[in-house]
Amino acid sequence: MTDSPEGLPPSLDAAINFDERGLVAAIAQQLGSGEILMMAWMNRESLSETLKTGQVCYWSRSRGKLWRKGETSGQTQHLKSLSVDCDGDTLLLTVEQNGVACHTGRRSCFFRQWNGQKLEDVLPVEQDPETLYGR
For residue 32, the cross-strand partners are none
Say how far apart CA 19 and CA 130 lie, in whole Å: 35
Residue 85 binds a second copy, judged by CB under 8 A: yes
Binding range to a second copy, per CB under 8 A, among 4-12, 52-60, 63-71: 4-12
Say how far apart CA 47 and CA 59 lie, in whole Å: 9
DSSP letters for 100-116:
-SSTTSBS-S--EEE-S
CB of 71 to a second copy, least distance (A): 18
Enter the DSSP assignment of 125.
Answer: B
- The vertex-52 CA angle with 129 and 77, nearest 5°, equals 25
Residue 125 binds a second copy, judged by CB under 8 A: no
CB of 134 to a second copy, least distance (A): 19
CB of 133 to a second copy, least distance (A): 14
**Binding footprint of a second copy on the chain (CB under 8 A):** 9, 11-12, 15, 25, 27, 29, 33-36, 38-39, 51, 81-87, 89-90, 92, 102-104, 106, 109-114, 117-119, 122
